[in-house]
Structure 1
Amino acid sequence: MSSTYGKILKIATFGESHGVGIGVVLEGCPAGIDFDEAFIQSELDRRKPGQSRITTQRKEADEFEVMSGIFEGKTTGTPIALIIRNQDQRSKDYSHIATQYRPSHADYTYQAKYGTRDYRGGGRSSARETAARVAAGAVAKMILKKVGVQVQAYVSQVGKMKLEKDYQQLQLENAEANAVRWPEPETAQGVFDYIDQVRKEGDSIGGVVSCIITGSPVGLGEPVFDKLHAELGKAMLSINAVKGFEYGSGFAGVEMRGSEHNDAFFTDENGKVHTRTNHSGGVQGGISNGEDIYFRVAFKPVATIMQNQESLNEAGETVTVQGKGRHDPCVVPRAVPIVEAMAALVMADFYLRHQASRV
């Protein structure tokens, strides 16, 4: 079972939703990076459950412990191991589906592939695993900070409710001021109320997280199989509940002509190369061109709903699956730091790889 990602900056996550804990081993981090524990905890706090009534009410502090790789507040260049211990497992919430396959979950596919599965919250298939990614992504952000690269994501759509403004027209810092992580203050409450109504109906709703990467140097990414946008897409599609990824103009670009879509080059007053438009999303030929990198990630409605659904059990018999437990009615508010973390890991890995691309 693959639980690793990266070429130079590598992560390996471990643990289950209802086990002792979850964690990550981060290998390839350069020595001498200031290790900001408060920052890592703040990133985990953005993802942790129980933030508001529109998130799962599982109570996890998500406090991490450093097992190795840090000395006197700095990275040593050796593997960094972080662990987050589970505190509020309620495995009994899942006893009723021990032999049942929940619709749109990984229950059936895991059972078919491995011949066994951890039905308590889905085991490794649980989104709780992503807390380990957020911790690793915080370290990646520390590396990127040294070179002036910033990663910021926000919720841009919930169901049919969409932000009409471009990211350049928004104050993205506003996203952290509300429970939905919606950067338009005047409409944020309406989005919250919509998700809350879906929750009261025992249902769930999907959404979109948009992400902007600024300050990227030119030259990150490889021109064939390891294209920058391809790795970003792989990273995003590895996140639970993600159903789609597009960067730059995305699918809307098919409606444009080449004369409209092409990004013309020019030099600014300092002789630096820019493009007049950015339909390419900051990536051309699989390599960053120095402009803002932007992409959108689509999340499906959460599969567990508080309604009865028809399904099958391990014996192939038709059963009624009853929705129980503690679950998000909409995953996107808590997915924002996960998207940022995976983007940061991709960018940091490519930055380190780029250092070896020319003598």
Structure 2
Amino acid sequence: MDGAEVGRALATLDGLEISVSGDEVTVRVPALDDGVRLVAGEVQRLQHIFGPRCEPAVELVMAGGLPLILLENDVVFAPEDEDAVLNARIPVRVSNAPHLVTYTEMERDARAVAVHYFDADEGLNLAEVGGTLLLLRCLIAGALRFGMRPVWAVGCWQSVWDAVGGDLMLPPFHADPRWDELCAEAAALTLDLAPPPQVSLPDPDLVTMADIAALAPSVTVARLDEEFLAAWRQWIRVPPVVFAECLLEGLPDGAQAELTLYPDGGGGVELRVHADGAIIGLLQLGFSVSEGDYSLDEIRISGAGKGTGLFQRLMFNTGALGRLLGFNMIRALATGIGSYALAVLGYPHDAAAHRLTTRGR
């Protein structure tokens, strides 16, 4: 592709600052105070997609099949391989490394490892620290591939490495002039590692039937009585308004959900999204809090809901609700004859790039 073609595609995303000079495309993301630098000739394919919150995005497949996804306020990329950052005779692997990461997640994790180390009151698990620093180094190296300069993340990494690196059983890292340059910049920073203020939620034991009834008509329950209230206090453990906001975030005003909850902690959610009197989205969830089971039973997008990012929004809310309720995974069973019963959930959307980045992960 040429620079003008890539520039036009990225210009559809509001807020990005794009400059094209021949084959070179520079994209600054003000929300990150950073940006990417591309050679248009290395862009093999691109497509307009929706991000997990239904936001517009552009997915590019770069040379080597690597994905790069730009949003209006974030960048998504693949971490660098461990072998590319470590000078090791025997391969070292991070077993839980993600196949994609956002820039904001990288900065979040950099902050977290620094805060965890410097706030630790007891002895640290050095194997865990070593694995975390290796993973973070791979994330940062993945950003460097596309010309990003995450100075703050490098500063957090280096602060922990300077304190404990000599005690870690890690092979040496490959020499990288880009890394050295960012370390020099980071040395002039003052890292603010103060923990974010804690948000206190109301006592779940004080939830009343009036609190639950106030969610109507957006969220209703099959049978609101003392038994339901007791089950909510025992199993849900979050304020009803927080539950509703998490489930309905970003959805059209025509979204309505019905909640079922039983004394044993089992239940379900049926969510319908309407537009012009027609159902354009359907989501059915089942759960058992007592057994730790959280399942996606059905999701359908039809009519005016197709091609709007509604599917991604429903999936994002499903994951957010699961985390809110304390589940650590979503169980999804999909079957069908002659058609796909469940769309591919992950990113990148490009099939070849998806196979490349998820291989071995």
With structure 1 as the length reference, what TM-score do the two structures score?
Answer: 0.24
More helix by share: 2
- State the structure with bigger RCO (CA 8 A, min sep 6), 1 or 2: 1
With structure 2 as the length reference, what TM-score do the two structures score?
Answer: 0.24
